[in-house]
Structures are given as structure tokens and as C-alpha cells.
Amino acid sequence: MFPDLTRDDVFRIETRRLWLRWPRAADAPAVLQLAGERAVAEMTARIPHPLPRAEVDAFLLDVRKRNAEGAGLTLALSPRSDPRRLIGIVGLFPGEDGAPELGYWLGRPHWGSGLMAEAALAAVDAYFAYAGGEALQAAARLDNPASRRVLAACGFQPAGRARKAFPARGTEVTVDLYRLDRAGWLSRHAPAAEAA
Ligand SMILES: CC(C)(COP(=O)(O)OP(=O)(O)OC[C@H]1O[C@@H](n2cnc3c(N)ncnc32)[C@H](O)[C@@H]1OP(=O)(O)O)[C@@H](O)C(=O)NCCC(=O)NCCS
């Protein structure tokens, strides 16, 4: 799914306020604290609550392995002023049906400043620009307007509604589905028409 460029753990993306970098073992305490909050976990399909430390360690190992294999790209969000500090995660990975999916979470103290839109846009660009991707999908719970706004900011279009397995919630949840294909992504990157 991803090329050699992203498969090495020196890979980084710089945005206006963030570094997106590979997660590492030393991020475990930050993940435990931030993703351990119910408000974060309950919106996601895969973060259990309470969140055991062993689960976090296994997650960090797993995403590094997938990054190295090019089977996905999961990146930590770090403030540019403090690149070692993890404040959230953005990931591209094969979804239930194998089609590439975008997922993310941000620690609660950092909500409300548009940071995830900034990070998700960069991850989406990496997928289409570096991985030559054709289409991305995403899903958000009906009671998650902030996530829907993040997807809209990245150019995702609504693609219906479905019941989706949320294993960490132990149930299926109704979600709004979203899709962004290569043509849609390219149209947002088209050079502005020259002034007459
Ligand atoms: C979803 C999440 C990543 C958003 O990150 P964020 O950087 O804080 O996003 P913002 O606070 O800038 O909000 C994004 C937009 O949603 C809007 N928004 C936030 N809360 C809202 C609410 N309760 N109702 C309506 N709009 C809301 C914001 O005004 C903003 O709008 P804008 O794009 O017009 O500026 C973060 O809330 C989070 O991690 N939530 C828990 C985990 C999660 O939901 N993951 C995604 C699973 S699909």
C-alpha cells in the first residue's frame, strides 16, 4: 500500500504546527493517558476503555510493523515545538473490506484548534501523492460532528450510512460513511485558473 519512502522510521511530514512521525515505544505513556480517556475511546472502533498498558504496547509494535511492511501508515502527531511529545494519532490502514481507511484521534486537551484537520489533510496527501492511492474511506459515529468536520475539511464526500463493527465497544454502531477518490483529491490540488 505504501512505498519505500514511508517504510523507514525516519519518515516525517511537517505541517504548519505539527510533525507527523512514526510512533515509538516511548510514546506508550502518552497514548495510555490520552487514548485512555473515555471521550476519545468511545468514538473509536478499536480503543478499549479502560485501556490496558499491554494493549498500548501491542498497538505500537503492530503499527510500526505495518508501517515497515508498507501495509499501512500510522503516524504520531507531535507539536513542532516538542517533536518527542505525542498528542494524537492519524492512520491509514486496510478497513474491514480491505479498502484503505482513514482513522484518527487527538488528546482531549488539544481539541478545538483544527489540529486534526491539519494532520489528516497531510496523511491524505501522503496516501494519494506518495502511495498513488485510488480511494480512501472513513466512517464517523452519528454523534461525532467534530470528526465529520475533519473529513469534510479533507474533501471526503458522504457515502451513505451503515452499521459497522466497533469491536472495542462490543457492538455494531451506526456510522456515516465517507469517501474520497483520486479525482476528488486532485480537484482540490488543481492549480488556480490564471487571471485573465
Ligand atoms: C474528532 C477529533 C479528532 C477532532 O479533532 P480537533 O482537531 O479537535 O477538531 P476541531 O475541534 O478543530 O473540530 C473540527 C470541526 O468540528 C467542529 N465541532 C467540534 N465539536 C463539535 C460539535 N460538538 N458540534 C458541531 N461541530 C463541532 C469544530 O467547530 C470544527 O469545525 P470547523 O472545521 O468548521 O472549524 C477529536 O475530537 C477526537 O479525537 N475525538 C475522539 C476520537 C474520534 O472521534 N476519532 C475519530 C473517529 S471517526
Alpha-carbon distances of 34 from 44, 82, 105, 107, 195, rounded to whole Å: 13, 17, 9, 5, 47
pLDDT digits (tens, 9 = 90+) for 127-167: 999 999 999 999 999 999 999 999 999 999 999 999 999 99
* pLDDT at residue 195 is higher than 50: no
What's the 154 CA to ligand 1 centre distance in angstroms? 13
- 121 pocket-lining for ligand 1 (C-beta < 6 Å): no
Q: For residues 21-32, give the mean pLDDT.
A: 98
* pLDDT at residue 191 is higher than 70: no
pLDDT digits (tens, 9 = 90+) for 61-86: 999 999 999 999 999 999 999 999 99
What kind and span of H or E run contains 172?
A: strand 171-181
Q: Name the residue at shortest CA distance from atom 27 of ligand 1.
A: 146
For residue 77, the cross-strand partners are: 20, 88
Please classify residue 120 by burial: count the beta carbons closer than 10 Å to its beta carbon, then call 0-12 exposed, 13-18 middle and 19+ buried. Answer: buried
* pLDDT at residue 118 is higher than 80: yes
pTM over 0.85: yes
* Residue owning grid cell 510500526: 64
- Let me know: does 57 contact 109? Beta carbons within 8 Å: no
Mean residue pLDDT of the chain comes to 95
Domains and CATH numbers, the chain: 4-189 (3.40.630.30)
Three-state SS for 92-152 is EEECCCCCEEEEEEECHHHCCCCHHHHHHHHHHHHHHHCCCCCEEEEEEECCCHHHHHHHH
C-alpha cell at 188: 482540490
- Cα–Cα distance between 173 and 162 in angstroms, integer? 8
- Cα–Cα distance between 71 and 68 in angstroms, integer? 8
- 89 pocket-lining for ligand 1 (C-beta < 6 Å): no
Per cent of the chain over pLDDT 90 is: 93
Q: For residues 110-124, give the mean pLDDT.
A: 98
Residues listed for the chain: 196
- Our mutation pick for probing the ligand 1 site, out of 93, 149, 164, 166, counting the most ligand atoms within 8 A of Cβ, is 149
Specify the pLDDT at position 27.
98
* pLDDT at residue 193 is higher than 60: no
C-alpha cell at 195: 487571471
pLDDT confidence bin for 194, thresholds 50/70/90: very low
- Let me know: does 78 contact 87? Beta carbons within 8 Å: yes
Specify the pLDDT at position 192.
56
